[in-house]
Structure 1
Amino acid sequence: MRTRRAAAAVAPALAAAVLLTATLTGCSPIVALTPATHANDPACADVIVRLPQTLEGLARRETNAQATGAWGDPAQVLLRCGVTEPTASDLPCVQVYNTDWLRDDTNAPSYVFTSYGRTPAIAVVIDQRKLTPGLVLGDLDSVVAFTKPNGRACSSIEDSLGSTATPGPTPTPTPTR
């Protein structure tokens, strides 16, 4: 009788341990990131709690730093809220929906897009070999809206988001006789 009670008490704990082990072995490792300088800005918390669980078909991953996000395994999109706000720059500016982004292609084909004219600023690193930057930034536009406009705007907008394919000129039709 005592053995049955002991077995009955151990069984749920053992089942929980097996479930926990199975769950942990199926997870991707945590993405290690460094928090941005102003990651503790309350607006970053508003952004982070609204990040999508999937982004262009990539599952969101757990990160180890405040005000960050990552998607894909391996990570193909990284987000950090609270980066230093950019000032006027020689970097090209692109606009996706309601947000201006400065595009840094120093490490192309991985591009860093930093929101411009918004406080706190958000940096998004996108592996352009795998994803279209415009689609990713478009999917993030509704969460970037939780940052405040700061009065800055790009003076000129470029139409390239870092795509490797650049459209050529449209040919002029030749009349047929």
Structure 2
Amino acid sequence: MLPARFVTALTAAALTVVVLAGCAPRTIGVEVAPDAADPRCADVMLAVPDELGGDLLKVPTDAQATAAWGEPGAAVTMRCGVAQIGPSADCQHVDSGDGTAVDWIVTTDDAGTWSFVTYGREPAVEVIVPPAVTENHSTSFIADLAGAVTQVPATKECQ
């Protein structure tokens, strides 16, 4: 039979693990991009902010060269290493307010999901914003990502 102090300590340790596991952020599943192993993606990922829009906190992801902010089912996701998109009327020049600017190809689908893909940067970066996020947020937080995506130099601009 185990001593009572040992049983008490073991029970306390088990409860601590359960409580801490309940506080841990859940991992967001993000599909890896085809060129995620490009070394410039590492520079981008090291520069991503800890929050977007003032209240969307960065959470762990399960794939290389990806990031997410929010919570499962309502998360902004980012992938570095996606294919470049050619010139488009959907190209928008976004100033971050700190002197940096990024050109994005901006689209939205019938479900209300927004897609932002950097234009003129290789590898390209894609940001997906689901309707669960835009219910309570403007997509203007895309400017918060300028410091990260400008780690890949621009070779073209929106026309």
Runs of 4+ in structure 1 deviating by more than 3 angstroms, as ranges, are 13-18
Query: Structure 2 stretches of 5 or more lacking a match?
Result: 96-100
Structure 2 counterpart of 1:154, one-letter code: C
Matched, 1:129 2:135: yes
Query: TM-score, normalized by length of structure 2?
Result: 0.80
Q: 1:119 to 1:17 in 2, by over 3 A?
A: farther
1:146 counterpart (141, 147, 151): 151
How far residue 36 of structure 1 moved from its aligned partner, in angstroms, is 0.3
Task: Tell me which moved more, 71-80 or 117-126.
Answer: 71-80
Which of the two has higher C-alpha Rg? 1
Provide the secondary structure at the position in 1 that maps to 2:74.
Answer: coil
Q: Could you say which residue in structure 1 is the equivalent of 2:86? A: 87
Q: What is the count of residue pairs matched by the alignment? A: 148
Question: Alpha-carbon deviations, 1:26-50, whole Å to 9, x = none?
Answer: 2343111110001111111111122
* Root mean square deviation, CA, Å: 2.4
How much identity, in percent, do the aligned residues show?
Answer: 32
Q: 1:25 to 1:105 in 2, by over 3 A?
A: same
For CA contacts below 8 A with separation 6 or more, give which structure has more relative contact order: 2
Query: TM-score, normalized by length of structure 1?
Result: 0.73
Q: Could you say which residue in structure 2 is the equivalent of 1:26? A: 23
The answer to whether the 8 A contact 1:33-1:64 is kept is yes
1:72 counterpart (70, 73, 78): 70
Cα distance between partner residues in 1 of 2:150 and 2:110: 27
Provide the secondary structure at the position in 2 that maps to 1:76.
Answer: strand
The answer to whether the 8 A contact 1:76-1:130 is kept is no
Structure 2 counterpart of 1:146, one-letter code: Q
